[in-house]
């Protein structure tokens, strides 16, 4: 289903300059657990729930008396706010870690950064996205920094959107990348958790993971995804 592996990796390695990609597979369950991000022991019950129109991760979790993040992590949801009607979700056996926030990206309207480290510098628009959401929730940078980038071409340059205007799905936005910065890239097989869990653990943003995987928004197939870590200013 995803053909990003060789082509995208070659492209992105060039993009971020001195980065050395070392493809490897890491089992998320073996990563160090710090803070409240990763719960290592959510077990599945034999119950599967089929998502109905208008369900949210919170409504389903409360129906089964488990945490929204238990449910999201067990089902390896890329973004727990994205559910599909008719999608099957495995229900946790019990509320193991009834956390309803730490697996979600936050709407950080106080973001101050004006560029991201390393890249990639193109983001593919998902349904309902605005410049404000992409900037503050996906990348933790200011909305103005996206609109102000002289690199904007095509759709965004032509549209000249306000930051709350809903953008067209599948179009692209250029993301400002800080000069002289790079990240290390690898492939990562998510067996547990959300994209935000990985981003929090490794100091990157969900926008970087999504853009590296061409707008990937859901990990139901648990395909290895391209991820970044060790982002830094180059010496
Ligand atoms: C699920 O079903 C299998 C077989 O029907 C059973 O052995 C197992 O104990 C059940 N697991 C749970 C968590 O109920
Ligand atoms: C979902 O919510 C919308 C708006 O509240 C409502 O019009 C629609 O009938 C709901 N759909 C279902 C399947 O409940
Ligand atoms: C957003 O970036 C600021 C620094 O610019 C940092 O202090 C904050 O923790 C970041 N927030 C998130 C949710 O990553
Ligand atoms: C997720 O991405 C797929 C294409 O990869 C798209 O068809 C779908 O509408 C997207 N869903 C959401 C909720 O963004
Ligand atoms: C983020 O918060 C601001 C201020 O409350 C709000 O205007 C905006 O719609 C929110 N964005 C998202 C994507 O939820
Ligand atoms: C846009 O970027 C230019 C060059 O970096 C800067 O001088 C200018 O102040 C920025 N404008 C806004 C509105 O942020």
Query: Of the ranges 24-38, 44-58, 129-143, 211-225, which one carries the lowest mean pLDDT score?
Result: 24-38
Q: Is the C-beta atom of 53 inside 6 A of ligand 2?
A: yes
Name the pLDDT band for 186 (thresholds 50, 70, 90).
Answer: confident
- For the CA of 223, the nearest ligand: 4
Tally Cβ neighbours within 10 Å of residue 168: 11
What does the pLDDT look like over 7-28, one tens digit per residue? 333 333 333 333 333 334 444 4
Distance CA 201, CA 230 (A): 11
Distance 46 CA to ligand 1 centre (A): 6
Q: Is the C-beta atom of 1 inside 6 A of ligand 2?
A: no
Angle, vertex CA 232, rays to CA 227 and CA 234, nearest 5? 125
Q: Is the C-beta atom of 62 inside 6 A of ligand 4?
A: no
Distance 191 CA to ligand 6 centre (A): 42
Burial classification of residue 214, based on how many CB atoms lie within 10 Å of its CB (0-12 exposed, 13-18 middle, 19 or more buried): middle
Residues composing the chain: 235
Q: What is the pLDDT of residue 130?
A: 96
Q: What is the pLDDT of residue 41?
A: 63
Q: What is the pLDDT of residue 221?
A: 60
- For the CA of 208, the nearest ligand: 3
Q: Which of 212, 37, 36 is nearest to 119 (CA)?
A: 212
- For the CA of 141, the nearest ligand: 3
Average pLDDT, rounded, for the chain: 80
pTM more than 0.85? no
Name the pLDDT band for 34 (thresholds 50, 70, 90).
Answer: very low
What does the pLDDT look like over 197-212, one tens digit per residue? 889 888 999 999 999 9
Asked if residue 133 has pLDDT above 90, the reply is: yes
Q: Is the C-beta atom of 217 inside 6 A of ligand 4?
A: yes
Token pair 């990563």 in the structure block, residue: 31
Arithmetic mean of pLDDT, 70-98: 88
**Which tokens belong to 124?**
């593919």
Best mutation site among 170, 217, 220 for ligand 4, i.e. most ligand atoms within 8 A of its Cβ? 217
Arithmetic mean of pLDDT, 104-113: 96
Q: Percent of the chain scored above 70 by pLDDT?
A: 78
Q: Which residue has the higher pLDDT, 91 or 13?
A: 91
Name the pLDDT band for 222 (thresholds 50, 70, 90).
Answer: low
Best mutation site among 102, 109, 110, 111 for ligand 3, i.e. most ligand atoms within 8 A of its Cβ? 111
What does the pLDDT look like over 162-173, one tens digit per residue? 999 999 998 999
Which runs of consecutive H residues, i.e. helices, occur in 65-218?
Answer: 68-74, 131-133, 143-147, 154-159, 195-202, 206-212
Q: Which of 82, 164, 160, 172 is nearest to 125 (CA)?
A: 172
Q: Is the C-beta atom of 126 inside 6 A of ligand 4?
A: yes
Q: What is the pLDDT of residue 215?
A: 65
Q: What is the pLDDT of residue 28?
A: 46
């Amino acid at each position: 289903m995803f053909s990003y592996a060789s082509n995208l990796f070659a492209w992105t390695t060039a993009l971020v300059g001195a980065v050395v990609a070392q493809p490897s597979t890491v089992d998320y369950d073996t990563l160090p657990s710090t803070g409240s991000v990763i719960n290592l022991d959510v077990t599945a019950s034999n119950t599967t729930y089929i998502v109905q129109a208008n369900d949210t991760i919170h409504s389903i979790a409360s129906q089964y008396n488990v945490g929204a993040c238990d449910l999201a992590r067990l089902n390896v949801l890329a973004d727990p706010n994205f559910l599909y009607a008719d999608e099957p979700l495995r229900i946790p056996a019990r509320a193991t870690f009834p956390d309803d926030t730490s697996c979600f990206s936050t709407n950080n309207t106080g973001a101050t950064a004006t560029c991201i480290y390393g890249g990639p510098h193109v983001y593919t628009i998902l349904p309902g996205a605005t410049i404000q959401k992409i900037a503050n929730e996906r990348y933790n940078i200011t909305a103005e920094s996206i609109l102000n980038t002289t690199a904007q071409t095509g759709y965004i340059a032509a549209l000249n959107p306000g930051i709350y205007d809903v953008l067209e799905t599948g179009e692209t936005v250029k993301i400002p990348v800080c000069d002289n910065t790079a990240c290390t890239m690898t492939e990562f097989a998510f067996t547990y958790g959300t994209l935000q869990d990985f981003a929090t653990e490794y100091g990157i943003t969900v926008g970087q993971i999504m853009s590296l995987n061409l707008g990937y928004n859901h990990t139901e197939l648990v395909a290895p995804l391209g991820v970044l870590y060790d982002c830094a200013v180059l010496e």
